[in-house]
Structures are given as structure tokens and as C-alpha cells.
Chain A
Amino acid sequence: MNIWQRWHLDRPLFLALLLLSVVGMFVLYSASGENSMLMVRHVVRLMLGFVVLVSIAQVRPETLRRWSPHIFAFGLMLLVAVLAVGSVRLGARRWLNFGLFRFQPAEIMKLGMPMMLAWFFARGSLPPRTRYVALGGLISLVPILLIAKQPDLGTAALILGSVLTILFLAGMSWRSILMVLLLAGLATPLLWAHMHQYQKQRIRTLLDPSSDPLGAGYHTIQSMIAVGSGGFFGKGWLKSSQAHLNFLPESSTDFIFAVFAEEFGFLGILMLLGLYLFVLGRGLLIAFYAQDTYTRLLAGGLALTFFMYFFVNIGMVSGILPVVGVPLPLISYGGTATVTLMAAFGMLMSIHTHRKIIAD
């Protein structure tokens, strides 16, 4: 039994995550304008993330399964608490203040939601009957609406994405899928009417960034300039003029990919995408090899959620998706999201390393 097995870690996945974190540190160092205080905070959070990953990898999948509804219920409770007593920052009520630290309960739901749905569908047999699909959808709608109300539309959309993914994986019938698509199409104008002004503006600027070049379109235009000026080989590490001359807003958080693209070029992007796709592939492989329906659905759901993260972020920076506040996994500066992500990978490792030998 080698050290990887003893600690229930999946070597390829672990090494890939480590490599991503190291790449992330270099990018962040440049993007933050060589801010050493910020780097210290970032590294501390990364280390905390790895500790969480290793800890969760020790938990048996069976235990995870039993916890699932409780974690979901706990997360739901906190979301209601946020609505009641949460603290407001920048106009959104997202945080619970525990004195020592602030914390976004929506983060728990990023894990709690896939866990709950995997648990729910694994209880019955697959494919689920239509009314179970509908029930599962209804259960998940409650926290999504709570998060959207904060308002944190980015997170709400991502969680909705993970819900739809698991519904699809669980074998939702094509007829139901068509129904949902139809309903979504009909609901779009309604949704548009209920969106905040700034949210509408972001979608308008996606269609035509030059309509408001110094306002809502500014982010998109500047990040496209950064990406485009990087060229094939990039300008080199620490040479991002867009970030360093302060053109690019949020360069250490949501728009950090633009800095990466400017400094490392198309070649760097291909390598980074390769690394991300490797992590995704490994996650899907774990799902394929999973030994029961719960772990298979959970692993598949978490891996595909990870895909949505980097896809939405890169899509937003390169101007094909609207500006929503989604960080680039393991590279953006940002606290709880990193830890949540690492917890998800801890679950994947737990699922993979606790398989019974007899199964194959």
C-alpha cells in the first residue's frame, strides 16, 4: 500500500490540482501588481483548501451519502438566515458574519445540491419517473431562488446548471427535457422583466460592447484587448500592460484569465485548457468507474460543475458570455470558492479510492 492509497488520494488528480495551483500563484502574483500581502492570503487559503481536500478524501462515500440530505438542509437553513440577518456588501445580502470571518452560505449549496439530488435519485431506481424528476426539480428550486434573491445571479445560475446536469445524468426522459426547454423559452421574457437594471445592461453589452464603452462595456472591451494583444506566444510573465497600467478591472479576481492570456498567449491558453480538461476527464473517469448510482451521479455532477466554472469564466472574459461574477477555478483570488472546490475534489477522491476490490 503506497502513500497515495493510504491517504485515499488519487495521484493524477492530486498532481494536476497542485500544478494548477502553482500556475495560479504565478498568474496572481502578476495580476495583483506584485502584491505580496495578497499573495500570502491566497496561499493560506490554498493550503486550507488542500487540507480540506485530504480530510474529505478520508470520509467513506457511504458516509457522504448518509450526510447528503442533512448537509442540504443545513445549507438551506443558512440561506434563510442570510435573508434574515445577513450582512450587506456592495448592495447584495450574501454574507453571514461570524465575527472572526464572513462566509457565503451559497458556497455550501454548491456541494449540498449535487449531494442531495444524487441521494434523492439513488434511492429509487433509474430512470426516475417523471413525477420524481419534477419533485427533484422543485426541491432544488428553493435554494436557487433564495440565492438569486440575494442577489447572486452567477452562483444561482451555476447551481441551476449543476441541477440540470444531474437530472440529465439520472435519466430524465427526453420528453421531460423538451418540456423544460419549452418552459424556459416561454419564461425568458418574464425573467427579463424581473432582472435588475445592471443585469440587463450586462446582457445588452454582450451583444454590443461599444454601446457603453466606459460603463458596463468597459470590462468586456478591456479584457478582449488584453486577450487579443497577447497573441500566439504572449507578452511574457509580469508583462501584462493591460493589468499593470490599470486598464483591466478585477484583474486579480474574475478577469484574471485575461491577464493569463495576455502574458502567455494562445499557446499558454491551450496548455491551461489542457490542464483543466485533464482534471475534468479524470473526474468523469471516476464517475464511470463508480460502483453505485449515488457515487456515479455525484462524481459526474461535480466534475461537470467544474467544467461549467472554467467554461463560464473563460467565455465571459473572451466576450461570448455575459459578465457574471464567476472566478477562474484555482487561479482567481477569492476565499471560500477555492475551499469549496477543493472539498468537491476531496469527494471525488473519496469515491475513487474507497471502491471495493471485488467489483472489477
Chain B
Amino acid sequence: MSGTPIKDYLRESRLVNARMTGVIAVIAVLVLVLVVRLAYLQIIDHRHYMTLSNENSINPVPIAPVRGLIFDRNGVVLAENYPVLTLEIVPDQVKNMKVLLSQLGKIVTLNRQDLRNFYRELREKPHFDSLVLRNNLTEEEADRFAVQRYRLTGAELHARLERYYPQGGLAVSALGYVGRISENDTKEINDANYRGIEYIGKLGVEASYEDVLRGRSGIKKVEVNAEGRAIRTLDRIPPVAGDNLYLNLDARVQAAAEQALGNHRGTVVAIDPRNGGVLAFVSTPTYNPNEFVDGISTKNYRALMDNPDRPLLNRALDGRYAPGSTIKPFLALGALEDGMNPDQTYFCPGWYHLPGSSHIFHCWRWREGGHGTVDLRHAIMESCDVYFYNLAVHLGISRIDDILDKFGFGAKTGIDIPGEISGLVPSPAWKAAHGLPWYPGETVIMGVGQGAMLVTPLELANATALLADHGVGFDPQVVRAIENPTTRVMTYLKPSPGRTVGVHNQNDLATIVQDMRDVVRSPKGTGYLMGLHAPYKIAGKSGTAQVKDMPSNMAYNVKKIARDLRDNAVFIAFAPVADPRIAVAVIVEHGGFGGEVAGPVARKVMDAYLLPENPPPAGSTASSVRAPVQHAH
């Protein structure tokens, strides 16, 4: 039979069954080994293990490390830790929870929210965990508890360090905040790194530098009695504190920007063009991060969510705005690179229309009859729209997209805080993907930064920094240095080279910078107001971006139009012109004219950074200011 393709069923089944019998013998041996091993552990060595696990046993208790502090570039404390007393309960040790809670209620104040949170944790967490009942006990309450403690089995006082942001809402859009580790967080993190730790960075620097700030937990071996109370500490592996962070951010500049924006919704991003350091990162209105640390109350949270000004929106990172005329210098530089003559003129009668089309595109000065004959210098200085309508048509949409791409518009900048979104540079391909055709009129309005185009304030500031630094860019960095808290050794983060614009002829760039200088210097310039009496040289460009389509023949009177319909005021600037140290982008929502409203904000920001006699902001007294220790490496 062997060798024939016909299957010999009986032989096959005998073979497999014989092999199975063999396996069963092996299994028998393995099970025997297992049983012997378990008998050894549970019967012969039982006493030994019983002692180890005895009621008076040694409990390894994790010790939370101290989270790293966060300072601004001058050593002003932005995030610190302060000790609080919490009242906690281990449900497994409680005989009657209702009785215990009513007893505790007589000693300390327990409001509805406390109880609700506690009952939720009671449902969700293991009953051998220590659950927080009340935070922030007063000393009086702690004393009362200490006296009665002997009859309150299961309840315990704990001292913990809690995150505190001494400057309140200042720079919250860059700093972020920590909060209690949520069930969602636990899915993402490695428990081993969070022994005894209750807080995790949720947003901003606190989130992106979580691993640096957190530190390493220690372990305390304590002898516990039958009720699980610690009797004495036997051994201790100390925790390792997290590293401190020094930001590029300057609290003075940040505060100046927030003040300058006043009650407006708006945003300011200031960048050091030489290394991408983020000097100010503002979104107004701000909110108080301290409320989030231990869980914000439902009422306060709803108030923030229902606020029409949307304070929780990080406008600097996630706001998308039409750039308006601030786009003009970038397009002009592109056109110069293509060989356009800056002396070439266009005539601005106050309006423009495409050949063969009756649609009228207005210049913002159409009521006064337009700008007349303008060259590039005047077109930028006086922000002539008709010049740039012509320029846009001359360049064509694909070249425009090219130029804007080069400056990083429509792409994330790679800033070192999470959640960044990108703006939008519309293109025929993008519209085709939505099943729509590209209209020639859309190319026209791209010339003045209107239409579908959107930028984030961060992108706009980053592109301005690129102009300021001769086309050499860096990824924006909020954090400047990491400090080891024990050795106090500072490790400065290297500027991370980012997008670089190949400027073929630095003369072209110089022309644009000169024109932007005139925006601020010339009495006819749209930014003249913001540049008055500046002790250093500023280059800038204003923008006034429509948020609402208006009938084009309607007179634009800022005072008469409802605030939500007013234009966004935009301004970009850098200074000092010869060797720029700061590049700023400002957007004031519904502010009106860019040069009049956003320009002065940019000026105040630059003054705060460049003028040495500026006093430090209130609240940063000498005790909370630490000079960074320099370390060469």
C-alpha cells in the first residue's frame, strides 16, 4: 500500500492516536511537576509564606516624586507644587461606610460634590485603594480629625503636593495644566511609571514634557497592622524628582501681550527668529488652570463652555483666521524672485475686475478713489489691494500656492506642544477633491489673503520669523532648557532647524523688508501709528480680514457695525530690522483695522521684550524668581 496516493485511513488514525497517547504521558508528568511544586509552596513552605503575608506585613508604599517646576526664561515661576492635606478612605478597612461618613461629616465639611466624587471612585476603583474624600483640609479640620482618629478606622490624612500655577491664567495656552489621571489616561500610560502618582499633564508643555517633568517614584516599606495602618517605616528608596523646565517664554512679554489685548478676543505669538524660541504665546480670554488640577466643578466648567468668547479655545495653536493683507509681503517676495521689477506700476482706481467679467473687486480705499499709480513700495506701504489683485493674476494660483507652501502656510510648524492644527492654503486640487471647480476670482482674492485661505497665528508668526531671519527657519520651541533639580545642571535644547526658504537673491528680501519698514515709518504707511517714537527700527505689515461678506457698496463704519461683524485686525512685525530678535503675529478678533488695533498690540509686545527698563510683572517677587544656572556643555 505504501507509496500509493490512496489514503490508508486506519493507519493514519492509529498513528495520530498513538502520538496522542505519547503526549498524554508527557502531560501527566508536567501536571505532576506542577502539583508537586504547588504542594511544596502551599504545604511544606506554607509557614514561611504565611509569615511573609501575615497581617503585620511589610507593605511597599510608593512615594510620589516631586514634579519638575516650570520657569520662564528669566526664572519667574510659572508652575510649582504646594503641600495640601487630603482626607482619604480605604473602603476595605471600613466596617460601615455610612456611619463613617456621617462621623467624618461632623469633623470636616463635606459638600455634595465631594460625596459625589467619592461615590464615583467607590464604584470604579478597587476597594483596597486609598480614595480621596476631601481635598485641601484646613489645619483646624486636620487637628479635629487627629483627635478622633482612633475611632475612624479606614480614614487617614495624607499630605500631598499639588500643582499650582502662581501666575493664574498667564501663558496657560503654552503651559497647559495637569489634572487627575483619568480612566482614559490609564489606557495610554505604563502603570509602572505612575506608582503613587495622581496627576498627569493634560495640555501644553505639561503634557508634551510629561516624561521629563514627572520624575521617578520611590518605595517606602512600611510595617502595617491588622487595620492596614502604617506602624513604622523600615526601608526607603527615595523618589527622584522630575526635571525643571526653563521656557523661552518671557513672562513680561506674555503679560504685556495679554494686557494689550484687553477685553478683546485675540491672539499673539512672538518668536525669536534666530532660534525659533517662542517668547509669547497668547490666547485671550485666558482661564485659570488651577481650577482644573483637582477636577473643575461642573458649574464652572459649564460657565467656561457657555462663554461666547470661548476661553478654552487655544487661539494661538488652534485658531484659523484669514491672513488678510499680511500675506502681501510673502507674495511680493515670490514675485521678485520670479524676476518682477519692483518699479513696475499698476493703476488703482479703487476697483479691479477680471477681463471679460463684470464682477468688481474693491480696494479698501475705493471711496477716496483708490491709490492711483502705485509701485511695489507703495503697494505694501499703503496696502493697495488692486496692485495685489494684479500681482495674484500675474503669478497664477499654482505659483501662489508654491510661495505660500515655502513659508510654511497650511502646514503644522512642529511646535513642542500637542494639539497643533494647520491652516489652509486653497488650491484647485483641494477644491477638486471637494468636487468643486476653481474660479479665476478665487485667484484674485488670494492676493489679499481672503477667500478660503486660513492661517494659524503660529504659522503666521513662524513665517514672519522666516522673513526676519533671511529665510532660515526653526521649529518653534516653547521649552529652552531642562534643569536637573539636584545637580542644577542645565541642558539647553538645541534649536531644531525647520523650514528654510531658499532666497536666491538677498536683495529681493532686502527690498521687501525695506517696504515693510516703510509701512511703519512713513506717515502714509498703514502701520505708522504703531511705529511712532520707537527707539528701535520695526518692519511690519497690517491686515484687515473680512469675517463676514458685506454688501460692497456699504460704508464701512467701525462704530456702527455690531462687534461680531467687524473685521479681524491682523498685524505682523519684527524688530530690530538690522538684527531681528523678535517676530510677532497679532490677531484681534473683530478689532477693525489692523494697523490701528493690532499694530499697537505688536508694538507693546516688542517694547516689553526689547526695552530693558520694563519692570517685571506683578507677582514675581524676588523670592519666586530664580536665576537660571548656566552650564557650558
A42 to chain B, nearest CB (A): 14
A36 to chain B, nearest CB (A): 7
Contact A265 B34 (CB under 8 A): no
A255 to chain B, nearest CB (A): 14
A300-314 interface (Cβ within 8 A of B): 300, 304, 307, 311, 314
**A226 CA / B128 CA spacing, docked (Å):** 16
Tally B residues with Cβ within 8 Å of A: 52
Cβ of B17 within 8 Å of any chain A Cβ, yes or no, is yes
A307/B27 contact (C-beta < 8 A), A229-B53, A244-B127 known = yes
A33/B126 contact (C-beta < 8 A), A225-B52, A231-B43 known = yes
Contact B49 A33 (CB under 8 A): no
Taking a contact as CB atoms closer than 8 A, the residue among A33, A126, A214, A226 that contacts B15 in the complex is: A126
User: Chain B residues near A147 (CB, 8 Å)?
Assistant: none
Contact A269 B38 (CB under 8 A): yes
Cβ of B349 within 8 Å of any chain A Cβ, yes or no, is no
Cβ of B45 within 8 Å of any chain A Cβ, yes or no, is yes
Contact A273 B124 (CB under 8 A): no
B28-39 to A contact mask, C-beta < 8 Å, 1/0: 001101110111
B218-242 interface (Cβ within 8 A of A): 219, 224, 228, 237
User: Chain B residues near A21 (CB, 8 Å)?
Assistant: none
Contact A214 B60 (CB under 8 A): yes
User: Chain B residues near A284 (CB, 8 Å)?
Assistant: 20, 24
Cβ of B12 within 8 Å of any chain A Cβ, yes or no, is yes
A122-149 to B contact mask, C-beta < 8 Å, 1/0: 0001110000000000000000000000
Please classify the interface of chain A as helix (H, G, I), strand (E, B), loop, or mixed, using the class held by over half of its residues: helix
A101 to chain B, nearest CB (A): 13
A228/B8 contact (C-beta < 8 A), A214-B60, A245-B57, A266-B43 known = no
Contact A320 B46 (CB under 8 A): no
Binds B, one of A67-75, A163-171, A336-344, A349-357: A163-171
Tally A residues with Cβ within 8 Å of B: 60
Cβ of B150 within 8 Å of any chain A Cβ, yes or no, is no
Cβ of B41 within 8 Å of any chain A Cβ, yes or no, is yes
User: Chain A residues near B11 (CB, 8 Å)?
Assistant: 126
B133 to chain A, nearest CB (A): 18
Contact A228 B49 (CB under 8 A): yes
Taking a contact as CB atoms closer than 8 A, the residue among A292, A307, A315 that contacts B9 in the complex is: A292
Cβ of A84 within 8 Å of any chain B Cβ, yes or no, is no
Cβ of A246 within 8 Å of any chain B Cβ, yes or no, is yes
**A90 CA / B24 CA spacing, docked (Å):** 38
Cβ of B302 within 8 Å of any chain A Cβ, yes or no, is no
User: Chain A residues near B46 (CB, 8 Å)?
Assistant: 228-232
Cβ of B59 within 8 Å of any chain A Cβ, yes or no, is yes
User: Chain A residues near B27 (CB, 8 Å)?
Assistant: 280, 304, 307
User: Chain B residues near A231 (CB, 8 Å)?
Assistant: 42-43, 46, 50
Contact B7 A320 (CB under 8 A): no
Contact A315 B16 (CB under 8 A): no
A179 to chain B, nearest CB (A): 17
Contact B49 A35 (CB under 8 A): no
A36-50 to B contact mask, C-beta < 8 Å, 1/0: 110000000000000
Taking a contact as CB atoms closer than 8 A, the residue among B34, B38, B123 that contacts A37 in the complex is: B123
User: Chain A residues near B30 (CB, 8 Å)?
Assistant: 311
- Other than the given A34-B126, A241-B55, A292-B9, 16 more pairs (CB < 8 A) read A33-B92, A33-B129, A37-B123, A125-B8, A126-B16, A168-B19, A169-B20, A171-B15, A214-B237, A227-B41, A227-B49, A229-B49, A230-B46, A300-B16, A300-B20, A304-B23
Residues of B in contact with A (beta carbons under 8 Å apart): 5, 7-9, 11-13, 15-17, 19-20, 23-24, 27, 30-31, 33-35, 37-39, 41-43, 45-46, 48-50, 52-53, 55, 57, 59-60, 92, 123-129, 187-188, 190, 219, 224, 228, 237
7 residue pairs from A and B, CB less than 8 Å apart: A33-B127, A37-B123, A169-B16, A225-B49, A247-B59, A280-B27, A293-B12
CB-based closest 3 A-B pairs: A228-B49, A33-B126, A229-B53
